[in-house]
Amino acid sequence: MQFSSYLHNGAYDELFAPDGLPRDRSEPLFQRLQNLTPEELQRHQKAADVALWNMGITFNVYGHEAGVEKVWPFDILPRIVTDSEWGRIERGLQQRIRALNLFIDDIYHDRKICRDGIVPEELVASAKTLRMACAGLEPPQGVWCHVTGTDLVRDRDGEFYVLEDNLRCPSGVSYVLENREVMKRTFPQVFEGLRVTPVEDYPERLLDTLLHTAPRGVDAPTVALLTPGIYNSAYFEHSFLAQQMGIELVEGRDLVVHDGYVHMLTTKGMRRVDVLYRRIDDDFLDPKCFREDSMLGVPGLMDVYRAGRITLANAPGTGVADDKAVYAYVPQIIRYYLGEDAILPNVPTYVCSDPKQCAHVLANLDQLVVKPTNESGGYGILMGPQASSEERARYADVLRANPRNYIAQPMLTLSTVPTIVEDRLEPRHVDLRPFVLYGKDIYVLPGGLTRVALRKGSMIVNSSQGGGSKDTWVLADPNRPRQAEQSQSQSQSSSSPALAGA
Q: Which amino acid is at 204?
A: E
Q: CA torsion sign, 186 to 192 to 198 to 203? A: positive
**Opening angle at CA 380, ends 377 and 385, nearest 5:** 110
Q: Which tens digit of pLDDT belongs to each residue from 361-420?
A: 999 999 999 999 987 666 788 999 989 999 999 999 999 999 999 999 999 999 999 999
Residue 340 clears pLDDT 70, i.e. is over it: yes
CA-to-CA distance for 36 and 39, rounded, in angstroms? 8
Most confident of 15-19, 246-250, 373-377: 246-250
Longest dimension (CA), the chain: 70
Q: Any alpha helices (H) in 367-451, and if so which ranges? A: 389-401
The CA-based angle 280-502-255, given to 5 degrees, is: 35
CB 431 within 8 A of CB 151: yes
Q: What is the pLDDT of residue 3?
A: 72
Q: What is the pLDDT of residues 100-127, one digit of tens each?
A: 999 999 999 999 999 999 999 999 999 9
Residues in the chain: 502
Rounded to a whole number, what is the distance in angstroms from the first to the last CA of the chain?
A: 34
- Angle, CA of 86, 89 and 90, to the nearest 5°: 85
Per-residue pLDDT of 65-109, as tens digits, reads 555 567 788 999 999 999 999 999 999 999 999 999 999 999 999
The Cβ of residue 49 has, within 10 Å, a number of other Cβ atoms equal to 17
Nearest residue to 164 (alpha-carbon basis) of 172, 152, 174: 152
DSSP code, position 136: T
pLDDT of residue 65: 54
Q: In 3-state terms, what secondary structure has residue 153?
A: strand
